[in-house]
Structure 1
């Protein structure tokens, strides 16, 4: 295990659906996640705001002034942005910056999350046919805007800086009969959410469970769990929401069943294709599985030279499926077809640790595979020693 891969360091309540665990990963830093926020800011500035990529809430109001957004050139850190907002609106005013779909606007964050978080987060909970949203919550507030709510998604909520509470309630028997109950409206309605806007946390907190996480810890909760967050001072967190299209835990997921060398069976791959629906073929299903269903920006470069030596650049499995004398290989959301002769070299990569180097054989098929894996950031090209 290296500091580049997510390590779960404790699991005091791993048998319950709402829990706090510790985590370590040297590369999942506030700075790395902030790059995704800046990518979303730039997209909004360019006119892409179809899904409320950035939402700034001050007090009880959502403010749309672009001047309030983090500096799109990346010159403003999370702490600097929050300090600017508190100076403008007052230190006691609740402030929240919410950003979503971050890997779609920053390729480095996509690669980092697929590599570092894939196995302990996505493989543990199963694949979903709905979207996977990567969200940021930065600010200081007494309750998540909108109040107590539930979603059709399972969540892993990593605290990067500060401390925060998450208040949870299970089932519906705890809800007062007089409480207002409404569904989400607007852009979020395609990922159904339900709210209890008339309830204040202090009124019902004793009917649920309250957990606190500090930097280096994360919350996990199942779809359909009522919840609301409360920060303890300023806090910065990144949330992974796996949409199952159901409020019922366990529904809408497909088990991730892959051998240690990355091979997937025909039965599993065909089942996943059918699970995805929407005309997916085996190649696109394998590609989706190799990124755990997470969508990301296109790779930033194309490898023009044939790599002669490569190093392992990520922890995500390189998936493959052999059929009719060829092998379909997928990594970080892309797939390609190569001759079956590449398998000995490909399978050997699975035994190498992060950062380990190896030579690329001279045959054209393996060289094409190596270039494909470098282009998609599963491997990186290195200078071969003379």
Structure 2
């Protein structure tokens, strides 16, 4: 069947109501609208794909030509029509179009294996479930940039960082749909050349800083922690001594601990950088582990109140507060260590950053870390443990 009958120039001159064929199922429907008082007559042009299944005539809208914030050009209409023809050739029923919610569920399932922790998985699901709810029941191939804009508007200025993450995740759903032939055209969640022109300027995303304890106060807090007998207090002290993230300590297992080498190896799947991290253990850190080993009933180093579950962040934060740390956070203890290392020691920046498991892009520096940094980091962590000792409180 003949195709490509229309041209951009011809379309722009069509001013009589009717249905004009571009060929092989693609049509442009032109409608004229009576003018309001004192106004001019208006013309609307909309793309439709018309086909037959048996004796039934079916029609699918493809968007308006030169209308709204997401106009469908002749080239895009042909691209959409071709995608429909391919689906028809496979025997797909166009009336059973996938909804955004259905594609969203598929995307989350695909990405599930790449999530490094439960928190990230939950955030992905929450933002799409809660903030993209207005899109859920819409057919994925019918959603326009207007729909996405209206979905994001209520949260765009109230919670800008979450709103932008939601936009990116909505975009990922459309990228997935496009790869499967369920959606054709520009991603309606795109920023440049799209939502950037329709939404207010984004506020600068403030990452903020975790409240940190001044290093001159660490020894006093550590003294209070040592005086407590709870597992949560031991876990907080262990986090502070090793400058690790709380989740890395909470989920530590005995298989990761080498007592003979005084080394704790955190596997890649539990690291933010997705790389295994070796932590040289100070004498005090080993003492904590030896005491925990005596009371261990499971493979977890810091088991919580529920059998088989790690100590919680909430319990650890409570112990930190009880020790007189004020508003300091568990993550802020890493800043306490880094500030001390930078202000009070002569250790090089790369050694201090390596202790925090920060990824360095420079390949030469990264190679140096692998080769000699462990021994130097061991010295650093012993010095830090001595500084944290109650003997040094001010």
TM-score (ref. length: structure 2): 0.22
For CA contacts below 8 A with separation 6 or more, give which structure has more relative contact order.
Answer: 1
Q: Which has the larger radius of gyration?
A: 2
TM-score (ref. length: structure 1): 0.22
